[in-house]
């Protein structure tokens, strides 16, 4: 009998494309596997014009999908890792992390150029507190405008709302095959990405041995290491959707390097630090980085934003 696997996903064009990418990887690993992508509308999708902090956090992009997974309506689910809260429902686990895509942010303006080239008091669209504080730390004159919706919607709003620029994730653009002419790629060393940015996480029921065995070949060891370090940092520092927080890990010559950043909403106070160490110490390094930043007053900055 041909095995079947149902993949749960949000219904946005990007989410479906990400589920398709995972489906393609599974087809390569298991040619006889019959695959079905099941679109699921989440609370976050239904309230697309409301700020995430007002909604109650990014967990609203996964709640209904995880309910379907727990209830057996789907066998696994594909998420952007940055959408997942640090704590999963008890029956679920992150079974596989395919190789990480580009973690960078991209500035897309009306004309080519970097942040310094934007006009005085330029209007820049983003609803990310992390992007907001880093933009304002570089250009305090910028006017930050709320911007939600799928990628096509945000690109359209660049003109419809007469914005000077918007900031998007490079991975989303690449997965959809988009390459705007005015895109400027922001270095992760200068503009720290979101925790989990560029990483796909495949979630399954922890006790489902059949599904976890099917997902096993998709797990990329170095990406899992980076994901573990970043999520350990998030857990240890106690960040939330109200926290302007960034964290980015990368493996360089078999060493894990992890950068973290916390700031105030006006961008005038930024705390940034870095740790490095062996790959098998990923979780410990995340906790160490959080401890260093908390020791420098990160908790006070986070409380000031709530």
The radius of gyration of the chain from alpha carbons, rounded to an integer in Å, stands at: 19
Same domain, 62 and 89: yes
On the question of pLDDT at 128 being above 90, the answer is yes
pLDDT band per the 50, 70, 90 thresholds, residue 99:
very high
| Range with the poorest average pLDDT among 54-63, 92-101, 116-125 | 54-63
* Residue 57 falls inside a structural domain: yes
pLDDT band per the 50, 70, 90 thresholds, residue 70:
very high
* Residue 174 falls inside a structural domain: yes
Percent of the chain having pLDDT more than 70? 94
Q: 113: buried, middle or exposed (CB in 10 Å: 19+, 13-18, 0-12)?
A: middle
Whether 54 is catalytic:
no
Beta bridge partners of 185: 106
Question: What's the average model confidence in pLDDT over 168-179?
Answer: 97
Same domain, 204 and 63: yes
Task: Pick 148 or 122 by higher pLDDT.
Answer: 122
* 91 to 22, 85, 173, 267, 287: CA distances (angstroms): 22, 15, 33, 39, 25
* Residue 226 falls inside a structural domain: no
**Domains in the chain: how many in total?**
3
* Residue 288 falls inside a structural domain: yes
Same domain, 14 and 90: yes
* Residue 228 falls inside a structural domain: no
| Range with the poorest average pLDDT among 56-65, 149-158, 251-260 | 56-65
The predicted structure's pLDDT at residue 60 = 74
On the question of pLDDT at 48 being above 60, the answer is no
Same domain, 29 and 10: yes
CATH of the domain at 155: 3.40.190.10
Domain span including residue 179: 105-186
Q: Is 103 helix (H, G, I), strand (E, B) or coil?
A: coil
Percent of the chain having pLDDT more than 90? 86
pLDDT band per the 50, 70, 90 thresholds, residue 243:
confident
pLDDT digit string, tens, across residues 13-29: 999 999 999 999 999 99
Catalytic residue among 75, 83, 102, 208: 83
CA distance 184 to 35: 37
Inter-axis angle of helices 282-295 and 221-237, to 10 degrees? 30
List alpha helices for the chain, DSSP H: 13-29, 43-46, 52-55, 63-70, 129-138, 151-160, 170-175, 209-215, 221-237, 282-295, 298-304
The predicted structure's pLDDT at residue 118 = 97
pLDDT digit string, tens, across residues 73-98: 999 999 999 999 999 999 999 999 99
Q: What is the DSSP letter of 235?
A: H
Same domain, 41 and 91: yes
pLDDT band per the 50, 70, 90 thresholds, residue 1:
very low
* pTM: predicted TM-score of the whole model, two decimal places: 0.93
Collect all residues with Cβ–Cβ distance below 8 Å to 273 and sequence separation of at least 6: 259, 260, 289, 292, 293, 296
């Amino acid at each position: 009998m041909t095995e079947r696997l149902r993949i749960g996903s949000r219904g946005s064009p990007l989410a479906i494309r990400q589920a398709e990418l995972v489906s393609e990887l599974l087809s390569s690993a298991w040619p006889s596997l019959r695959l079905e992508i099941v679109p699921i509308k989440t609370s976050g999708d239904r309230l697309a014009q409301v700020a995430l902090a007002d909604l109650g956090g990014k967990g609203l992009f996964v709640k209904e999908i995880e309910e379907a997974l727990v209830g057996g309506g789907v066998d696994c689910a594909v998420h952007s890792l940055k959408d997942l809260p640090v704590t999963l429902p008890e029956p679920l686990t992150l079974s596989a992390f395919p190789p990480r895509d580009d973690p960078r942010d991209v500035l897309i303006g009306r004309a080519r150029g970097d942040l310094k080239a934007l006009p005085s008091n330029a209007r820049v669209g983003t609803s990310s507190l992390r992007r907001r504080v880093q933009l304002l730390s570089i250009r305090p004159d910028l006017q930050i405008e709320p911007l939600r919706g799928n990628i096509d919607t945000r690109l359209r709003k660049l003109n419809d709302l007469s914005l000077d620029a918007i900031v998007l994730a490079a991975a989303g653009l690449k997965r959809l095959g988009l390459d705007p002419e005015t895109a400027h790629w922001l270095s992760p060393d200068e503009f720290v990405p979101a925790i989990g940015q560029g990483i796909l996480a495949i979630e399954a029921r922890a006790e489902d041995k059949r599904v976890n065995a099917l997902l096993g070949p998709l797990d990329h060891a170095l990406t899992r290491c980076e994901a573990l370090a970043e999520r350990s940092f998030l857990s240890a520092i106690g960040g939330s959707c109200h926290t302007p927080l960034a964290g980015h890990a990368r493996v360089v010559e078999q060493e894990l390097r992890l950068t973290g950043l916390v700031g105030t909403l006006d961008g005038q106070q930024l705390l940034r630090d870095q740790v490095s160490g062996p790959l098998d110490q990923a979780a410990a390094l995340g906790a160490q980085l959080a401890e260093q930043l908390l020791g420098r007053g990160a908790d006070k900055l986070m409380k000031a934003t709530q």
